[in-house]
Amino acid sequence: MRVLLVALFCATLSSTGFSQGFKTSAEAGFFGGGSYYIGDINPGKHFIHSKLAYGGIFRYNLSTRHSLRFNVTYGNVYGQDEKSADPRHIDRNLSFKTQVLEFAFGFEIDLFKYRINDMKYPISPYFFYQFAYTRINPKAEFNGIDYALQPLATEGQGSGLPGTKTNRYSLNQFTVPLGIGLKFNLKKRVAMSIEYGIRKTFTDYIDDVSGNYLDSDVATGLNGPLSAQLSDRSLSSGSKAGLNRGTSLSKDWYSFYGVMLTFKPFKKDICEMRGWR
């Protein structure tokens, strides 16, 4: 079955015309860098609260300008209202953190002619666009313990109450990675890329914040006292039921940025070695 899939892949490449006059080549490597998020707890500051991110990449170069790419990337993002310059956010006093696991597949377009195994074309800026599956699981710390927030439905998601979301948000999301980079050969068959990418998401709950405050007694009745405590952690006193806890006018984003080191493992590509090209 695996042999058949490779054969179909090679036949597709030949039929597209991408690789005419060009010896396609595979490369694989590693990514290391940082990750951060943009959302209700961090509305617009890039690169702050960055955490370590790492992963792997596989490229299949179709021509000197076009590549298929597959990434697996893991990182962490977080936000804290207490670090905001906005007094309203400081009073809201919410925080979260989540692991982000992403599997992405798509295209990479080089602005100049480039080949990893040819010092004649050693460098090029590029951009990429992909589709990805992403796994999140926002948590908050309370009394020294991290609690998963989605099961607590801190904004009454799935309760059927007026003004609440119909369903609890999913921890499995589809996203659209978009980004730019610069790749250059260190030597034949070894290259480095410096890359920045941001992810368009279709959820406003990476940070578990989007809607309005629930009444404390209602939140307790729906999902227990812990849900009420983590829903409203504001520093000021008084009920905030019905007031904005976040805003649903825009979705959350997250970003990976860093450096990739890639290697061309074979002198010939897979199709040539199999004799199918």
C-alpha 39/C-alpha 136 separation (Å) is: 14
* Cβ atoms within 10 Å of 9's Cβ, excluding its own: 15
Q: With contact defined as beta carbons under 8 Å apart, do 52 and 64 qualify?
A: no
Whole-angstrom distance, CA of residue 182 vs CA of residue 110: 9
Which residue, 169, 149, 154, 20, is CA-closest to 96?
A: 149
- Per-residue pLDDT reduced to its tens digit, 206-247: 999 999 999 999 999 999 999 999 999 999 999 899 999 999
3-class secondary-structure state, position 155: coil
Query: For position 266, what pLDDT does the model report?
Result: 63
* pLDDT for the residue numbered 178: 98
pLDDT for the residue numbered 21: 44
pLDDT on residue 15: 42
The type of residue at 128 is: F
| pLDDT value at residue 268 | 58
The CA distance from 100 to 115, in Å, is 32
CB 183 within 8 A of CB 124: yes
| Residue 218 neighbours by CB under 8 Å, 6+ apart | 156, 161, 241
pTM score, two decimals? 0.86
Q: Are 229 and 20 a contacting pair, CB within 8 Å?
A: no
Quote the pLDDT of residue 225: 96
| DSSP string over 50-68 | -EEEEEEEEEEE-SSSEEE
pLDDT at 17: 45
Confidence (pLDDT) at 63: 92
pLDDT of residue 20: 45
Measured CA to CA, the distance from residue 83 to residue 6 in angstroms comes to 51
Low-confidence ranges of the chain (pLDDT < 70): 1-24, 266-277
For the chain, which domains are there? Answer: 24-136+171-205+250-277 (2.40.160.20), 137-170+212-245 (no CATH)
Supply φ then ψ for residue 221, to 5 degrees.
Answer: -65, -30
